Structures are given as C-alpha cells and as structure tokens.
Amino acid sequence: MQWTKVLGLGLGAAALLGLGIILGHFAIPKKANSPAPSDLDLEILETVMGQLDAHRIRENLRELSREPHLASSPRDEDLVQLLLQRWKDPESGLDSAEAFTYEVLLSFPSQEQPNVVDIAMTLPPPPTVGPTGDIIHSCHRTEENVTGEQGGPDVVQPYAAYAPSGTPQGLLVYANRGTEEDFKELQTQGIKLEGTIALTRYGGVGRGAKAVNAAKHGVAGVLVYTDPADINDGLSLPNETFPYSWYLPPSGVERGSYYKYFGDPLTPYLPAIPSSFRLDLANVSGFPPIPTQPIVCSLGCPVNVSVYNRLELRNSSNVLGIIRGAVEPDRYVLYGNHRDSWVHGAVDPSSGTAVLLELSRVLGTLLKKGTWRPRRSIVFASWGAEEFGLIGSTEFTEEFFNKLQERTVAYINVDIAVFANATLRVQGTPPVQSVVFSATKEIRSPGPGDLSIYDNWIRYFNRSSPVYGLVPSLGSLGAGSDYAPFIHFLGISSMDIAYTYDRSKTSARIYPTYHTAFDTFDYVDKFLDPGFSSHQAVARTAGSIILRLSDSFFLPLKVSDYSETLRSFLQAAQQDLGALLEQHSISLGPLVTAVEKFEAAAAALGQRISVLQKGSPDPLQVRMLNDQLMLLERTFLNPRAFPEERYYSHVLWATRTGSVATFPGLSNACSRARDTASGSEAWAEVQRQLSIVVTALEAAAATLRPVADL
C-alpha cells in the first residue's frame, strides 16, 4: 500500500501545482513588452507631448460633431462603435475596451405635438384648456437655419428636459433670474403671482430651481430665455453674431436638463441594470413641479404655454478602455469625458472627446509598440447621457462603488476641452494642485511669446498663497460635470481641465452658443480655436498629468495643500460666526484643535516622503504611503451629513447655501438657524454639523499618520 500513498501524494502535489499555475495566470498581470517602470520616464513624457497632434484633434472633432448625437439616439450609438473601434485598433488601441449599457429614464419633446408658446389678446374664461382662438403671435419652435445645420430632422426642438407636460395659461410676470429672492421681491411690490406665467432668464440659480421657486408662489408655468447682455456682451443683431462672430444668433435657445439630482431618476444609489429596483414614477423626486419651456421671442401677455414632453426608458452606454498597469494594476487613474450632446455639440462635449481620442491614440501606439506600459492602470471613459443629469458616470460609480473607492488614485475630467483660447482653467481638490502645476510648467502655452501654460495661466487666474506666494488659482468642484459622483459620492481626488476665455474681454457667463444648434465644427474652427493649438495644449496638460499619476513611484498628490483650505475655512468661521456661536454656547475650540492635528499630520507625512525619496525605499513602504495619499479624500465623506442632498457626502465640498465661506454644513446650518424663530432645534443642527466636521478632520489626520499608529 506504500506505493499507492506515494502515488497519491505525487498526484496531489501535481494537482496543486497545476491549480497554482492556473490561478497565477489570471491573478498576476501579464508582463509588459518593456521593463516595468520604476518612476516617471521623462523621455516617454517628452515623446507623448511631441506626438499629440493638433490636426488629428481637429479631424476627430469634425467627425464627432458631423451630426447631432442626443443621448440614446442612433448617432450616439454610432459613436459608441467608433470609440470601441479606435480602442481595439491593433496598432494604436488599448489592452481592452467594452461598452456598459444601462436602461435609464430620459425626457424628450413630443414629435407629434411640438411644445408651443403663444401670445393671446385676452385670457380665455375657465375651464378652457389649450390654445385659444385669439392668438396674435407664436414663438419660434426651432432656431433659424443659419448655416444649413440647424434644420435637420435630428435637431431636437428646444425644450426643458424632465419638465412635466401641461397647458398653463396666464398673465406674464417678469421674474428676473427666478431666484427665491426675485419672487419675494415681486410679492413685496404687491404683484399677484398665483396663476401667472413667470418669464425668467438663464443664470443666478440652476435651471430646475427656477421652476421650484416659482411653484412655491403659485406660478402656473415658467419660461426661460437667454439675455444677450448675459451671453453676447449685449450684441444681438444677425450681422453681429454667428456665423460672423462667436456670439449667439438671435434665434438661439439653450436646451438643458431641469432635473435636480444626478444619475438615473428611477434608480437612486443603484445602477440602472435589469436586476435593480426601480421607483414608481409617482415616487420620483427632483423633476420641475410645473410646465417649463426655454424660448426666444419678444413676449406680451397673456401667454398660453403648451408642453408635451414625455418620459422614456432608453438604453445609454458608457465605453471604457483600459491600459493595464505593469506593477500596480489594481490602482486606477481614471480619465473621462461625456459623449452625448444636445445637438451637434462641437464644444460640449466633442472638444473633450476629440482630445480623449488623440490622447488614447498616442498612448495606445506606444503600448502596442512595446515601448511603454504604465506602472498603474489607466482607464479611459466615454460617459453616456451626461446632459440629462450626469447619468452615465453616476451609474458607473454606483455599479462599481467598492472597487472604485478602494483602488482609484484620481479622476481627471475633460468635458468641454476648449471654451476659448486665452488660458487654462482647472477646477480640483487641493491634493491635485501640485501635479497640475508640475505639468503646466513644462508645456509651452499656445500663441505668441515663450510662456509656459503655467506662466500664462497665472496672468489670468491667480491667488496669493501663504505657502507658495502668487500661484494660479484652482476653482472648486461643484456638480457641473461628470466629476461630481467621483468627488461627492466616492471621495476620489478629482479635477476638471479646460482652456477658456479672457474674462476681461467678455462678460459671457459661458461660451455663447452653449447647448444650442449653433455649437458646430465651423464655430470652433473659425472662432474658438483656429489651428486647434488650445485643444493640443489641453491634450498635453491632461497627458502629462495622466503619466505623472500613473508612472510616478510616489503619487504626486500633495495632501498638505489641504491645510490652506482648512485654515481659510477655520478663519472664516472664527471671524464671521464665532461671536454668534458663543451666544448659543457652541465652541469652535474642537475645530481649531482638529485643524491643527491635520496640519501636523500632513506636514509629517510630507517629511517622511521627502526622506524616502532620497534613499532606496522598500516598495511596500511606498505602497503604504501612496495609499495614505490616495485614501485621504475618502475620510471627508459622511453619507449621513446631508440627508436632504442626494449623493453629497463630502463635508468640505458639499453645496454651500450659507453666506459664510466656511465648511458648507456649518455655514448652511448657521444660516438656517439665524432665520428660524424658535431656534433650539436649529442650533442643535449647528452643533451636529460642527461635530461632523471635527470628526472628519480627526479621521483625516489619523489616516495620514504612520500606518501602525492609531
């Protein structure tokens, strides 16, 4: 029997060895064709910078904006296939590419019954519904076909996405920007609002907020228009506007989503996949409460408004392309841009997609040649249905929540790559400031002279830093693009990159043809970026940042830069709220201590990194330090901090409605408490918000201390 035992042991060992080989094959990343990078390769960086081609970006944009590509439309699906084809190309493609499809609730105007706005001589007697026989003027339903591109069958009629259908009729009341203060001012003047139609202009508050504010005062419907003073520097004549300049033609109408939240309306906090629970339409919140319509025309009163929008379940796809990391494949650098547009969308979002395709082509070519593979994985993303409320990116973060939170180094967003060609504009969380500055100092700025992008940027947007002196200023991240779920929901260090205009030369709140049928290739080619050098500058900036984040041995995220933000928030609280809080026996002492602890921990971590950089550190040590840098942003999340705000859980960057530029929860709670007569419950919420901030800062400091310490 002894020989059978020996045979059995031998067979068992062979089986275990075979199993180990199989598991190893799938668990260990395949070797790159080139040696694994030990740190950022400056020669590779220079090669990438030199190969990013402005002409190719221009041709990408021509193709992307050739036809309208509203989310879920046939042309949108064609672009899904274009991205997959590019990212699977044998000579310039990525390691893998895949489309992820979600069934989401979108909103469209009826093709059978177009939305109309009519001016009547008198109001009909109740209960008349629908247009009356005394119509004296009807607003244009479509934009003028100025260049031959505005009249096609795929150009969607201007409408307010997610606004309910209805046929309100009433006297017209001008309500400025539709803010709560605007409607209160009308009431103060003795103007009766109930049953009226409010005429508002874009700006001031979000689109949907105009209808919410109006409904509170009994308004029956809302009209929204673009004021030439806000967008065109007051110019509005046909020969002063596109196609003769960058200004919006007189018939231009801004489309947009009027949904309050982001993500698929039927599946909040769940991915819109077949197995997910879906809300009944009756239980969906965040839609405008009354019929709303964007318009262009001179109005009198009374006004008849007929809105025939409809809700539809549609398939919308994200496309993901992956370059697998050679050393740390489980650490992701994400770079994303949405794909869908309201019409042709040459600026929004195709300028960003054109850059995305060129950047992935250059990196993919190096990858296929075997001359480079990043240390960490790079994920390129083309998001679907962003215009309806950041739907594609939100569904992605919901479906892969845990994986992304555990593994994502940073998220880079390039939505509109080029608003205009004057200067760089970057929004982001403080830790990304350092890598953005390092990248832009090494890239020449477009235009005359020999300035770097950094030096040109500092001329337009700057601030005085107590640590660095005069530096370019980074804007903060709100919820205007696909970075929102990454920073607010997942707590991932994020940034948004674009080239923009000189604000001293225009008062435009955004580029003038935004969300209109005049946002075309020729508009970009002739007026925004002739020669596409600004697109190339954005590609080089984003490319340099991607390589620095994916290839650097130590992650180039500087957490000590958060100290400036926290100190400024603390000082604002002390100066503007300190005396008020003392009156209610609320002390800022714990907040002062928490900020000081963070500052000390961040400085100590920076010193540890500096020491290790001078030697030959153990890779595991570096990995632990990098995880501390990566995970810092997560410590500022508290999903119960703002229960009334869906997805907003970042206690430093949540929406601030209070007037004091401090921690948003504290600012908002103090503002509400001052406006509340009873007070005690409201001041308890102030104390709660203060405790939430202190706890987050304590947790952040603990995360930055040596990993063996509590």
At position 74, the amino acid (one-letter code) is P
CA separation for the pair 560, 431 (Å, rounded): 7
DSSP one-letter string for 592-637: HHHHHHHHHHHHHHHHHHHHHHTS---HHHHHHHHHHHHHGGGGGB
β-sheet bridge partners, residue 135 = 120
Query: How buried is residue 242: exposed, middle or buried, by Cβ count under 10 Å (0-12/13-18/19+)?
Result: buried
596 flagged as catalytic: no
Nearest to 443 by CA among 454, 432, 435: 454
- Cβ neighbors of 614 (< 8 A, separation 6 or more) are none
For the record, the structure tokens of 551 come out as 């290839």
Query: How buried is residue 604: exposed, middle or buried, by Cβ count under 10 Å (0-12/13-18/19+)?
Result: middle
CA separation for the pair 405, 649 (Å, rounded): 14
CA separation for the pair 141, 115 (Å, rounded): 7
Distances (CA, A) of 148 to 151, 238, 253, 517: 6, 15, 17, 10
Assess whether the previous peptide bond of 302 is cis (omega < 30° from 0).
yes
Assess whether the previous peptide bond of 619 is cis (omega < 30° from 0).
no
Q: Angle at which helices 533-551 and 433-440 pack, to 10 degrees? A: 130
At position 405, the amino acid (one-letter code) is Q
For the record, the structure tokens of 572 come out as 């604002």
Which of the following is catalytic: 358, 386, 387, 633?
386
- Per-state percent for the chain, helix, strand, coil, to nearest 5: 40, 15, 45
Q: Annotated active-site positions, please? A: 386
